């Protein structure tokens, strides 16, 4: 069923070209490297029966190049290709820019997990330890204890009393705002987070062509995918399963952070 | 002269609002609506019923919520058990918030009617009050609570919070899964940890040790329908799972003082179908032993009352696999709460498929052949109706 070879090559060629251009345009922050997708089965381009017909549903499976599922990752179903929507890639926020005032201990602690805000469960699980070793958390805990006179509460509400808002959630908020704008420009239909098997289901949208993209790289310097999705299940009202193999960027051009 | 007609008109409007309110409070919705039985019918002449508070009154909507509701309440530490207590809104607004406009009603006669909005006894000496709507569990058990539904629906944008709490599956998690797979035969498989269970737990009936999966059988012997255990998931009933991030003193917006940031006033008389139920009805809920009013409400809202979250295979599936509309989920819009029938199996073919014939295909075929056939695999009451478009589409009919 892998007849998508040719398209794959074409994409690869296109994107290596794109990467070359981006490498040339040496900016403070260049656009993320584009990467190709390999759908199985290959979408067959054909017109839907009626232009505004309801599409049944698509179930997409997203795998990385090593065939590992891309679990709990946010993707967008777009009306337009991400790379031709005029998105301002240079204004993408970077985590490193939101660490002003952080102590060395806090920086080290933050580097342990790949989280956009202090609120992710990995961090929360380590709060009890952090109040002992990280000065900012210690302060937040002492503040809480003074206010609520309850150790459990001081720990549970640690983030409320955390002194550095930029570290706590400002990156998350800026990223959210950036994605909102980018999504608008690319004609966002819906966003979704894949489940643990890298799966996502869309239902209740109109038949037509869409693009599937993460819009924002999962890791700094990581790729942005821009996959064409053709909603053409054998029976337009039923669920159609498509697997996407999302390859790494055609040419590794990880910009130095 | 003009002034009098205006006052009259105002009073009339208030009275009509009162009548509308009374009639609308029987209909249903996402939340509870205040509708106490203590209310007396409006007198023939336009009079405001001061025993019955509603947020819809234009004057009550003019100022911020915080102009009446103090956060935190003075009694927050007493309102819950010590370990569960946290600064919260656990009491009625104080007199000062009423007095600006209601001085007259406060000091009318020996037993001013307005006092009974909050007080059990009308007396210049006793401050005894009904339980406040929060904490909701205690309130729901009270007489006032049983007779009332909220005037608000809660706004909780799941997708924003999904990102807030997002995480990449760590190495640990993969390791756990590996270990689990190796000992799958010996150990009961624990539910998958996920960021949803902070706020949604499987409901366990009081007195029942744990949610153990049981076979679904709506039409058990002797016509007494039973529902499988581990059926329902709870939803938050208060601020415990919000204020750890949204507390006014340094937290994220909307702050706890900004009630309207999370509570949206429902239009008066908005349709509330779940009070009578869809797939389940109140009798079924009672027979199945559900008494908790929050949970009964969840049951009545369901399209598929037989579906059990703790069923062995269901519990192994990620929440988002079935709840595909999480990004759009809003309790204000019933359609976003639906779990699409397609997530019951198309693609993974658990319940939908022609070869081998799965249950949905089987029931749809039987129904099309015999209109009297009742679909029982997933439904209780709805199985008697015509199969909806979504079912026909899913099976390619």
pLDDT score recorded for residue B30: 34
The reported pLDDT for the residue numbered A250 is 54
As a whole number of angstroms, the distance between CA A45 and CA A77 comes to: 18
Beta bridge partners of A224: A34
Residue B45 token pair:
């002449």
Taking CB atoms and an 8 Å cutoff, what residues of chain B touch A160? 244-245, 247, 249-251
Q: Which of A120-124, B48-52, B332-336 has the lowest mean pLDDT?
A: B332-336
Query: What pLDDT score does A215 carry?
Result: 94
CA distance B159 to chain A (A): 8
CB contact under 8 A, B167 and A74: no
Residue whose token pair is 């869409």? A210
CA distance B284 to B277: 10
User: Which residues from A are below 8 Å from B319, CB to CB?
Assistant: 195
Q: Measuring CA to CA, which residue among A53, A32, A45, A88 is closest to residue A213? A: A32
SS3 (DSSP) at A191 = strand
| Pairing, β A239-249 against β A54-64 | parallel
Where is pLDDT greater, at B281 or B223? B281
Q: How confident is the model at residue A56 (pLDDT cuts 50, 70, 90)?
A: low
Cβ atoms of B323 and B308 within 8 Å: the answer is: no
- Asked if residue B27 has pLDDT above 60, the reply is no
DSSP run (H or E) holding A189: strand A188-193
Interface test with A, best of B83, B255, B320, B323 (most A CBs within 10 A): B320
Give the residue-averaged pLDDT of A76-92: 92
Q: Under a CB-based contact definition with an 8 Å cutoff, are residues B134 and B90 in contact?
A: yes
Please name the residues between 80 and 139 in chain B that touch chain A, using a CB distance below 8 Å. 82-83, 85-87
Best B84, B180, B199, B347 residue to mutate vs chain A (most A CBs within 10 Å): B347
More confident: B109 or B67: B67
Work out the pLDDT band at B244, boundaries 50, 70, 90. Answer: very high
As a residue count, chain B comes to: 397
Reply yes or no on whether the pLDDT at B20 is more than 60.
no
Average pLDDT over residues B87-107: 95
Percent of chain B with pLDDT over 70: 74
Range 112-171 of A in CB contact (< 8 A) with B:
113-117, 119-122, 147-148, 150, 152-153, 156-157, 159-162, 169
Residue A165: pLDDT above 60?
yes
At B26 the pLDDT is 34
- Does residue B345 have a cis peptide bond before it, meaning omega lies within 30 degrees of 0? no
- Whether residue B159 lies within 8 A of chain A, CB to CB, comes out as yes
**CA trace torsion A183, A186, A191, A197 (10° rounding):** -120
Residue A106 pLDDT more than 50?
yes
CB contact under 8 A, A200 and B324: yes
Number of other residues whose CB lies within 10 A of the CB of residue A248: 14
Query: Residue A255: which pLDDT band, with cuts at 50, 70 and 90?
Result: very low
> Does the distance separating the beta carbons of A122 and B165 come in below 8 Å?
no
Q: Of the candidates B82, B249, B319, which has its C-beta nearest A160's C-beta?
A: B249
State chain A's mean pLDDT as an integer.
79
Q: What is the interface pTM, i.e. ipTM, of the complex?
A: 0.80
The pLDDT-based confidence of B74 (bands split at 50, 70, 90) is very high
Q: What's the CA gap between B55 and B298, in Å, rounded?
A: 25
Predicted local distance difference test score (pLDDT) of residue B324: 81
Residue of B249, B254, B244, B256 lying closest to B89 (CA atoms)? B256
Residues ≥6 apart with Cβ < 8 Å to B242: B236, B256, B262
Residue bearing tokens 């204004």: A91
Per CB-CB distance under 8 Å, the chain B contacts of A162 are 250
Q: In this predicted model, what pLDDT tens digit does every residue of B209-241 receive, in sequence order? A: 554 444 444 444 445 557 888 999 999 999 999
**Peptide bond before residue B356 is cis, with ω within 30 degrees of 0:** yes
Tell me the DSSP string of A79-147: SS-GGGTT--GGG---GGGG-TT--HHHHHHHTTS--SSTTSHHHHHTHHHHHHH-HHHHHHHHHHHHH
3-state secondary structure at position A212: strand
- CB within 8 Å of chain A, chain B residues 13-72: none
Q: What is the pLDDT of residue B12?
A: 42
Window A:16-75, CB contacts with B under 8 Å: 56-57, 59, 71-74
Q: Which domains can be identified in chain A, with CATH numbers?
A: 34-87+186-247 (2.60.40.10), 95-167 (no CATH)
> Does A239 lie at the interface with B, CB-CB under 8 angstroms?
yes
- Comparing CA positions, the residue from A28, A73, A74, A34 lying closest to residue A256 is A28
Q: Are B245 and A121 in contact (CB < 8 Å)?
A: no
Q: What is the pTM of this model?
A: 0.87
Mean pLDDT confidence for B50-60: 93
Q: Is A192 on the interface with B (CB under 8 A)?
A: yes
| Res. B21: pLDDT tops 70 | no
More confident residue, B337 or B69: B69
For residue A166, what are its two tokens?
């930029």
pLDDT at B125 over 70: yes
CB-based contacts of A133: which residues, under 8 Å, 6+ apart? A105, A109
Angstroms from A156 CA to nearest CA on chain B: 6
The CA distance from B275 to B29, in Å, is 7
Work out the average pLDDT over A167-184.
Answer: 95
pLDDT (average), residues A122-140: 94
Mean pLDDT, residues B357-376: 95
Sheet holding A227-230: strands in order across? A188-193, A74-78, A209-213, A227-230
The pLDDT of residue A50 is 60
Q: Which residue has the tokens 């929440």?
A: B319
With residue B368 as reference, give the H or E element that holds it.
helix B359-369
Q: Which among A248, A240, A186, A215 has a CA at the least distance from the CA of A61?
A: A240
In the sheet that holds A34-40, the strands lie side by side as: A199-206, A54-64, A239-249, A34-40, A224-225
What are the DSSP E strand ranges found in A29-92?
34-40, 54-64, 74-78
Q: Which residues of A64-86 are buried (b: 16+ CB within 10 A; e: fewer)?
A: beeeebbbbbbbbbbebbbbebe
Task: Give chain B's mean pLDDT.
Answer: 78
Closest residue by Cα to residue B307 from B276, B351, B272, B371: B351
Nearest-angstrom CA–CA distance, B378 and B305 = 7
């Amino acid at each position: 069923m892998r007849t998508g070879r040719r398209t794959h090559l074409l994409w690869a060629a296109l994107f290596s070209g794109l990467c070359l251009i981006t490498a040339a345009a040496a900016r403070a922050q260049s656009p993320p490297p584009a990467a190709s997708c390999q759908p199985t089965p290959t979408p067959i381009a054909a017109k839907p029966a009626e232009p505004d017909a309801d599409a049944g549903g698509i179930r997409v499976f997203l795998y990385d190049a090593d065939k590992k599922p891309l679990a709990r990752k946010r993707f967008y179903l777009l009306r337009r290709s991400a790379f031709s929507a005029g998105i301002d890639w240079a204004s993408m926020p970077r985590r490193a820019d939101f660490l002003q005032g952080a102590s060395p201990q806090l920086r080290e602690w933050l580097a342990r997990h790949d989280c956009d805000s202090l609120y992710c469960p990995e961090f929360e699980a380590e709060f009890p330890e952090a109040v002992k070793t990280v000065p900012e958390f210690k302060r937040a805990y002492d503040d809480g204890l003074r206010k609520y006179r309850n150790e459990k509460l001081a720990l549970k509400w640690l983030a409320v009393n955390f002194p550095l808002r930029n570290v706590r959630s400002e990156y998350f908020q800026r990223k959210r705002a950036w994605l909102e704008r980018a999504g608008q420009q690319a004609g966002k239909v819906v966003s979704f987070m894949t489940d643990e098997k890298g799966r996502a289901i869309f239902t209740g949208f109109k038949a037509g062509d869409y693009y599937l993209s993460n819009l924002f790289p999962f890791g700094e310097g990581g790729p942005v995918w821009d996959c064409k999705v053709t909603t053409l299940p054998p029976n337009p009202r039923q669920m159609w399963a498509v697997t996407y193999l999302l390859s790494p960027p055609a040419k590794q051009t990880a910009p130095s952070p | 002269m003009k002034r009098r007609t205006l006052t009259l008109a105002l009073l009339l409007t208030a009275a009509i609002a009162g009548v509308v309110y009374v009639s609308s409070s029987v209909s249903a919705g996402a939340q509870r609506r205040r509708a106490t039985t203590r209310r007396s019918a409006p007198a023939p002449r336009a009079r405001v019923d001061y025993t019955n508070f509603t947020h819809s009154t234009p004057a009550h909507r003019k100022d911020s919520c915080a102009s009446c509701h103090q956060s935190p309440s003075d009694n927050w530490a007493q309102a819950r058990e010590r370990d569960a207590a946290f600064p919260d809104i656990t009491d009625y607004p104080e007199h000062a918030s009423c007095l600006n406009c209601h001085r007259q009603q406060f000091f009318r006669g020996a037993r001013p009617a307005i006092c009974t909005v909050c007080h059990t006894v009308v007396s210049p000496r006793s401050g005894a009050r009904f339980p406040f709507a929060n904490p909701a569990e205690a309130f729901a058990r009270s007489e006032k609570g049983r007779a009332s539904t909220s005037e608000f629906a809660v706004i909780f944008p799941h997708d924003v919070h999904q990102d807030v709490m997002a995480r990449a599956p760590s190495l640990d998690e993969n390791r756990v899964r590996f270990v689990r797979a190796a000992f799958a035969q010996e150990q009961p498989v624990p539910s998958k940890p996920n960021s949803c269970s902070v706020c949604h737990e499987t409901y366990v009936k009081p007195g029942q040790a744990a949610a153990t999966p049981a076979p679904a059988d709506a039409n058990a012997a002797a016509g007494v329908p039973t529902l499988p255990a581990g059926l329902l998931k709870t939803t938050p009933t208060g601020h415990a799972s919000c204020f750890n991030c949204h507390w006014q003193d340094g937290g994220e917006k909307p702050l706890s003082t900004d009630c309207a940031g999370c509570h949206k006033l429902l239009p008066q008389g908005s349709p509330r179908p779940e009070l009578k139920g869809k797939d389940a009805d109140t009798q079924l809920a009672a027979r199945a032993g559900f008494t908790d009013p929050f949970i009964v409400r969840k049951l009545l809202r369901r399209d598929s009352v037989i579906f059990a979250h703790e069923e062995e295979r269901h519990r192994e599936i990620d929440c988002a696999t079935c709840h595909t509309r999480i990004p759009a989920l809003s309790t204000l819009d019933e359609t976003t709460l639906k779990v699409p029938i397609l997530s019951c199996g198309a693609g993974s073919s658990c319940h939908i498929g022609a070869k081998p014939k799965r249950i949905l295909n089987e029931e749809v075929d039987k129904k099309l052949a015999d209109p009297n056939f009742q679909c029982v695999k997933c439904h209780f009451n709805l199985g008697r109706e015509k199969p909806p478009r979504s079912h026909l589409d899913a099976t390619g009919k």
